[in-house]
Chains A and B, each alone.
Chain A
Amino acid sequence: ETGVTQSPTHLIKTRGQQVTLRCSSQSGHNTVSWYQQALGQGPQFIFQYYREEENGRGNFPPRFSGLQFPNYSSELNVNALELDDSALYLCASSLGTVQETQYFGPGTRLLVL
C-alpha cells in the first residue's frame, strides 16, 4: 500500500450541505494534491498544497477549498454541495512539487442527494 490514508471512505450528503474530507500523506511527503473523479472519467486536478500553502489550482470554483497542516496532512472542504459534486475524491502525496511520482490514497466516495 502507498501509506496515504483518507477518511471517511464513503459519505452521503444533501444539496447545499458542506463536507470536509481528510488525507494523511505518506511519511516524509510534504505535498498533497487533491483530485475529483466523476464516474467514467479520469481524475481532475482540484489543487495542491505544499508546506501549508496552496501551490496551484485547477478549474474548480471557490467553494472548493483546502488546508494543509504542519504535519502535512490535508483537508478538502466543499461548501454548498451540488449534485454534480458526487464523485470519488482522491488525494495524492509526493515529496516536493516537482517529484513525479504521486502516491494516491484509496479515496472518499461522496454521494450528494
Chain B
Amino acid sequence: RKEVEQDPGPFNVPEGATVAFNCTYSNSASQSFFWYRQDCRKEPKLLMSVYSSGNEDGRFTAQLNRASQYISLLIRDSKLSDSATYLCVVKPGTGTASKLTFGTGTRLQVTL
C-alpha cells in the first residue's frame, strides 16, 4: 500500500465549478499535512498547510480527519489558472528528518 494515495484524475471541470480532492495516508504517526500545487514541468509549490480544525485560504479549504487518516482539498469558483496537479503531502513526526512524502498528484483541468 502506498504511504499517500490520491485519485490521479484528471478532473475536468468548467470555470466556476467546485471541485474536491481526497487523499489518504497510511502512517498514523504523521504529524504535518500539506497540499502542494505543481504546474506542468515546474517545481511543486506550497499551496497550504492542513490543520485538524480545517483551514481556509480564499477559495481553497483544506480538511484533515486524523481518525480516518484522510485529507481533503476543496476549490470553489474554479479559475482557468487553477489548472495544475495537486499533490497531497505528509510529513512524519518531529525528531526525524523533514522528509516529505508525496502522493502521485491529482490533475485538474479547468475549461471555459
A interface list, Cβ under 8 A from B = 2, 31, 33, 35, 40-45, 48, 50, 55-56, 58, 90, 92, 94, 97-102, 104-107
Q: Are B100 and A45 neighbours in the complex by a CB distance under 8 Å?
A: yes
Please name all residues of chain A whose beta carbon is closer than 8 Å to the beta carbon of B49 when the two chains form the complex: 100
- Is there a chain A Cβ closer than 8 Å to B96's Cβ? yes
Please judge, given known A-B contacts A56-B99, A100-B32, whether A106 and B91 are in contact too, CB under 8 Å. Answer: no
- Bound complex: CA of A90 vs CA of B44, how far in Å? 9
- Bound complex: CA of A50 vs CA of B43, how far in Å? 22
- Is there a chain A Cβ closer than 8 Å to B112's Cβ? no
One of B13-21, B59-67, B72-80, B101-109 contacting the partner: B101-109
Please judge, given known A-B contacts A42-B4, A42-B103, A42-B104, whether A97 and B98 are in contact too, CB under 8 Å. Answer: yes
Interface residues in B1-59 (C-beta closer than 8 Å to A): 4, 8, 32, 34, 42-46, 49
Q: Of B32, B99, B104, which is within 8 A of A48 by CB? A: B99
Q: How far is the CB of A43 from chain B (nearest CB, A)?
A: 5
Q: Are A104 and B44 neighbours in the complex by a CB distance under 8 Å?
A: yes
Q: Are A45 and B101 neighbours in the complex by a CB distance under 8 Å?
A: yes
Q: Are B104 and A100 neighbours in the complex by a CB distance under 8 Å?
A: no
Q: Of B43, B97, B103, which is within 8 A of A97 by CB? A: B97
- Bound complex: CA of A94 vs CA of B96, how far in Å? 14
- Is there a chain A Cβ closer than 8 Å to B81's Cβ? no
Q: Of B43, B97, B98, which is within 8 A of A104 by CB? A: B43
- Is there a chain A Cβ closer than 8 Å to B94's Cβ? yes
Please name all residues of chain A whose beta carbon is closer than 8 Å to the beta carbon of B99 when the two chains form the complex: 33, 45, 48, 56, 58
- Bound complex: CA of A101 vs CA of B16, how far in Å? 30
Please name all residues of chain B whose beta carbon is closer than 8 Å to the beta carbon of A2 when the two chains form the complex: 43, 45
Please name all residues of chain B whose beta carbon is closer than 8 Å to the beta carbon of A50 when the two chains form the complex: 97
Apart from A40-B8, A45-B100, A45-B101, list 18 A-B contacts with CB within 8 A: A33-B99, A35-B102, A41-B105, A42-B4, A42-B87, A42-B102, A43-B87, A48-B98, A48-B99, A56-B96, A90-B44, A92-B100, A94-B98, A100-B34, A100-B49, A100-B91, A101-B46, A107-B43
